[in-house]
Chain A
Amino acid sequence: MIQLKVNEADQSFNGDPEMPLLWYLRDVLGLTASKFGCGVGLCGACTVHVNGKATRSCVTAMRDTAGKEVTTIEGLEKDGLHPVQKAWMQINVPQCGYCQVGQIMQASAFLASKKKPTDHEIDDAMSGNICRCGTYQRIRAAIKAAAEEMA
């Protein structure tokens, strides 16, 4: 039996401990905001926070989540929108939107520890998250806008 917290709620799991966190969130808990994109940690669409750190849930086995606190975008902000989400709307970042949950989770974890990121630091932090629609220049602009808002 694996005990963990998901969006501050206690959960327990007694299925296959090798099952990636992504499928537990999506198929077992029905939290479908975190997306399946590649299954091998190459695209970032599945990014969630585990103990506050941006983590690829598609390659994180349930056995490694025991005792951890998992936050998905459903639990990112209790009231209203997180500053990163607000910036994403202000800059009108999404096109199809499928990767954007992962982008936002990656960016929000990054900005929690980096107050005034440079272009280079943003590219470094975000280069694991693919957007096939090609919204990258807006992602960069939105991260800067959110950083100012959070400052």
Chain B
Amino acid sequence: MSAIENVSRRRFLAGGAIATGALVLGVHYYPKLSGGDKLRHGSNADRAILHPSVYLGINPDGTVWIVASRSEMGTTSRTTLPLVVADELDADWKRVKIEQAIGDQRYGDQNTDGSHSIRSYYEVMREAGATARFMLIQAAAQEWGVPAADCQTDLHAVVHRSTNRRAGYGELARAAAKLPVPKKEDLQLKAKSAWRYIGKGDVSYDLEALVTGKAIYGMDARADGMVYASVERPPVLGGKVKSYDDKEALKVAGVRQIVPIDPFQAAPAFQPLGGIAVVADNTWAAFQGRKKLNISWDNGANETYNSDQYKNQLRATSHSPCKVVRNVGDADAVFAKGGAKVHQADYYVPLLAHAAMEPLVALAEFKDGKAMLWAPTQNPQAAQDIVSKELGIAKEDVICNVTLLGGGFGRKSKPDYVAEAAVLSKKTGRPVKVVWTREDDIKFDYYNAVAAMYMKASVGAHGKPTAWLQRSVFPPIPSIFDVNAVYGDPGHLQQGWTDIPYDLPNLRVENGPAKAHVRIGWLRSVANIYHAFAIQCFTDELAHAAGRDPLDYLLDLIGNPRTIDFKGVEYPNYGASMEAYPWETGRLRRVTEMVAEKSGWGKRKHGKGTGVGIAAHRSFLTYVATVVEVEVNDQGEVRIPRVDMALDAGLVVNPEATRAQFEGAAVFGASVVRSGEITASNGAINQSNFQDYPVARINEAPYQTNVYIVENDAPPAGVGEPGVPPFVAALCNAIFAATGKRVRDLPIAKLGLS
């Protein structure tokens, strides 16, 4: 942990990683650099007079500094978490200034992924605000010689109830800073009825900067003496440079230097991929120089990888018994007995690329044994880690400034691109900005896994399954850390697979092995995409086979409200406790019934090119049900006139931001279904830019997405990702309703719906 000077008291939250109670008297709170003699740059919150938490500081002029320790990539968490602090503090939002944290473990985990910023930091933020409010009340009471119990806060001020005396937070800050930091048990959190911002939400703190172009993304970071670099990387994962000729590249005006980057040592993790970097005076010159490089590659073992053959391999694996990851009853015995109707189906989802609008980019300056980074990263502490390893310096000597992110979707949790900039700065002795082209961004991604799912059900009365078998096979994310990892890990099997929510007497859930030949990574909702696609579309198939309404059938399978028992199943529950976040099928029912009602299910027209589809899914602890309407014309063109989504994410701090996330999830899902596909030939990725990896445009996106939020005081759950999986399945079910064509392989661009 970091060294602290003159700290009167500090304490840790349960779990130990997050320090929230360091009150600093006159001297500021800084972690010490490894050299021991120089202070690292602290935050404005650190430098404020009243500073009872690493997340918060109050100045005598009444300015409240709130630290945003999570990265902002469009989910508004940079605004929403500070709103929680401000609410408990009773602060005037107009007098709040938000500052972005550097990577620093005193803030706890900063990896902004897994839709858990609010879930994991809601209580922490409330405590930070409540701590300062407690101290301000104490300070006012002492000053006035009255009991603290007779005082309360109003907007940005403490008030003595009987006399109406009043003092602003700014004038109390100095006195409050002399008081001890209260214990957590002594804090009184505000009653829900007194909330100012929680549950009401707000637009982004950065909104005006975003519409004026003043917002600074990683692409916009600058440093004095900065040069630009573009890197030609091995086209096949694990490939190496055999030889290269840089004569022509060096002739390009503006090109300064050609710098090789070492290949990674397996497994790749977050190391640079290696290759040849062109360093130049501007981005364009670096791009031009790169085109003139003549490189001979040793492609290595992954050269044999072809995605078409690989698809067949996955499918073959899924047709034989695999590792059982959840079992109820004896599905095999029912299948063996025979006599009943049996349905089988194969589902397939290809590799998917993130394609955030801001291609990967990072700026690094290595100087005097220390590295300063500016990066659009979801994970600044991981950036510190990999840069310290690559440069052979202490993690404390790596400062990672976090810019705004032009989208992330999981790709920017993996800081290989930041490490490239740091390595190049060390080699050139200058600040270097590495700019990835769109082609680089698509060809050198950590892709969402390609997956094959085999589904089998034996059905009885009313088409209800008497036995259910499902197998998924996909190269797992742990393969980027361990080349021998071939099975799905519990953290990704939980994503809509081991937690199939149906009330089934006989259920077997399996997972098969698959070796990765590209880097596999997290992409918005991750394994939930292919798992929910298979389960929710197969459910729709069974409903139609039984001649039943898909909604009634879905509700029938979800069954009566109950808490799913995961005995014998390794089920991490997204890192949350089963007590605080049980898997409640009643909540899934409720959103399903809600979306059915809101969408007018049953009254909407079907057939002749028009159809509606439904799907329900829980991911990141949030329950979502979605109804999608499609029109498919004679040319097979798909239009999505309307989407309805109902969600139960427990307490929703920022409804406006939540609606936006679900609207966006529908568009993201539309891209997956329409055209999302990465393929490889001889180990190299075939796609390169938006012409061959298209994403939904305004005329291809859902025309209108309506979002309905269940009012619920349950603990807050995720909102960034959970909208995607049920949308994908509901859209495919709608296409079946409109055309009679079943979508089992994504994307539909290859299907031919005309």
Residues of A at under 8 Å CB distance from B? 15-16, 19-20, 23, 26-28, 30, 32-40, 42-43, 45, 72-74, 81, 85, 88-89, 92-101, 104, 119, 122-124, 126-140
Contact = CB atoms under 8 A, between A and B. Distances in A.
B663 A137 contact: yes
Nearest to A19: B284
B355 A96 contact: no
B698 A126 contact: yes
Most buried by B among A33, A39, A74, A99: A39
A16 B289 CA distance: 13
Contacts of B656: 92
Nearest to B287: A39
B664 interface: yes
Contacts, number: 179
The SS class assigned to the A binding surface is loop
B70 to A, nearest CB: 14
B248 to A, nearest CB: 15
A1 B554 CA distance: 69
B194 to A, nearest CB: 26
A127 to B, nearest CB: 5
Contact of B214 (A33, A36, A39): A33
A134 B727 CA distance: 14
A148 to B, nearest CB: 18
B199 to A, nearest CB: 17
Contacts of A33: 212-214
Nearest to B204: A94
17 contacts: A23-B284, A36-B435, A37-B358, A37-B359, A39-B438, A85-B212, A96-B356, A96-B404, A97-B209, A97-B404, A97-B406, A98-B357, A119-B703, A131-B357, A134-B663, A134-B696, A136-B697
The SS class assigned to the B binding surface is loop
B254 interface: yes
Contact of A40 (B211, B408, B689): B689
A37 B439 CA distance: 10
A85 B74 CA distance: 18
Contacts of B253: 15-16
Contacts of A126: 698
B254 A81 contact: no
Contacts of B695: 130, 132
Top 9 A-B residue pairs of the complex, sorted by shortest distance between their CB atoms? A33-B213, A134-B667, A98-B406, A96-B74, A95-B74, A97-B210, A134-B664, A27-B282, A32-B220
Given A16-B253, A16-B285, A97-B406, A43 B690 contact: yes
Interface in B206-234: 206-217, 219-220, 222, 228
Contacts of A140: 698
A57 to B, nearest CB: 12
A16 to B, nearest CB: 6
Contacts of A26: 283
B560 interface: no
